[in-house]
Amino acid sequence: MHVLVTGGAGFIGSHIVTYHMDRGDNVHVVDNLLTGSLDNIAQYSDNSNFRFDEADILIWPDLDKAVSWADRIYHMAGVVGIFKVIEEPTRVLATNIAGSERVLRFVRDSGWNPVILMASSSEVYGTSGRSTLDEERTLVVTPDVNSRWNYAISKMADEALGLSFVQKYGLRISILRIFNVIGSRQMGQYGMVVPRFIQQAVSSEPVTVYGDGTQTRSFCDVRDAVVMFDKLAENPSANGQIVNVGKDEEISIQALAELIIERANSSSKIVHVSYEDAYGEGFVDVRRRKPDLKKLFKLIKYKLQWSLERTIDDLIAEQRAKSSEGKKEG
């Protein structure tokens, strides 16, 4: 199978690459390395089944050829991470909306009909309610001073674009509302909580919990997520559907910090930082984000393989290896 991964040098994208390379598929990555890294795909650089183009999906002249080569497209490219979203409010909207539109338009024009998986996000649920989030719920986001919701707005626009290309042109698209995926290669510097806590705990620095820590999240290991993506792609009934993808176990951010400190056997202390200090004035956090996975598990059969503790242990081991590597080099 020919697999195109936009954003394939990023965190989730590079795990999709590994998944398909392990299956002997031909994989083509296009990524402008905004938040992605060549290190994430370096192991395939000499593999004849693999091709990488450092390019921006907004302007890359060969995007039409790349999409018409593919049997399956994972559209993962996007401006991601809360700090990047606040820092680059216009880029978020431009890349995430215009980039997706360009990918879909070239697929339509190619006359070829690959299966497309588009990355949306649980952020589209905004601050909505305290209950478990299902795909039928009305989406509400409120404009605010620091553009935090531009990312959600861009993903809502992508969802609408995706559904309109299904309806109008018969494209085969599934929209993935991804909930807090974690794992190896995720970076903390753009605001992702787990890599930040792991790095702080392993280096015995204070672990910085934003807000009072009672807010909850539901984390899913990326190695489970990519299998679920593949299973959705294989089911024609997922075509034209918006589907939550994640894990429905919930943990408070305070408990997460404590768990990471305990598993790392770290002397780190927890320090609370106000949202204002962390993200700037007027920031609104989401209290709870737990997916309803009924629709997902109607479409696929899959038992999640990775517990939060296992994922954390793997990440701690990886961070320790990185730190001792750094010390040797230094």
Residues of the shown chain interacting with ligand NAD in the complex, contacts defined by CB under 6 A: 6-7, 9-13, 30-36, 56-58, 76-80, 95, 99, 119, 121, 178, 180-181
Shortest separation between residue 267's beta carbon and ligand NAD, angstroms: 29
Nearer to ligand NAD, 35 or 184 (CB): 35
Nearer to ligand NAD, 21 or 76 (CB): 76
Neighbours of 289 (CB within 10 A): 20
Nearer to ligand NAD, 153 or 266 (CB): 153
Nearer to ligand NAD, 12 or 67 (CB): 12
Q: Which of 44, 151, 190, 210 is catalytic?
A: 151
Shortest separation between residue 66's beta carbon and ligand NAD, angstroms: 11
How far is residue 295's CA from residue 124's CA, in Å, rounded to a whole number? 17
How far is residue 156's CA from residue 272's CA, in Å, rounded to a whole number? 32
Nearer to ligand NAD, 127 or 205 (CB): 127
Shortest separation between residue 48's beta carbon and ligand NAD, angstroms: 23
Q: Is 232 exposed, middle or buried (0-12, 13-18, 19+ CB in 10 A)?
A: buried
Q: Is 190 tagged catalytic?
A: no
The region that residue 270 occupies, defined by phi over 0 for left and psi between -120 and 50 for alpha, beta otherwise, is beta
Strands 251-252 and 216-217: antiparallel
Structure tokens of 10?
Answer: 């990023």
Neighbours of 240 (CB within 10 A): 17
Shortest separation between residue 35's beta carbon and ligand NAD, angstroms: 3
Shortest separation between residue 5's beta carbon and ligand NAD, angstroms: 9
Alpha helices (H) along the chain:
11-22, 63-69, 82-87, 89-93, 99-110, 150-169, 193-202, 222-234, 253-263, 275-279, 294-299, 308-329
The region that residue 7 occupies, defined by phi over 0 for left and psi between -120 and 50 for alpha, beta otherwise, is left
Catalytic residues: 151
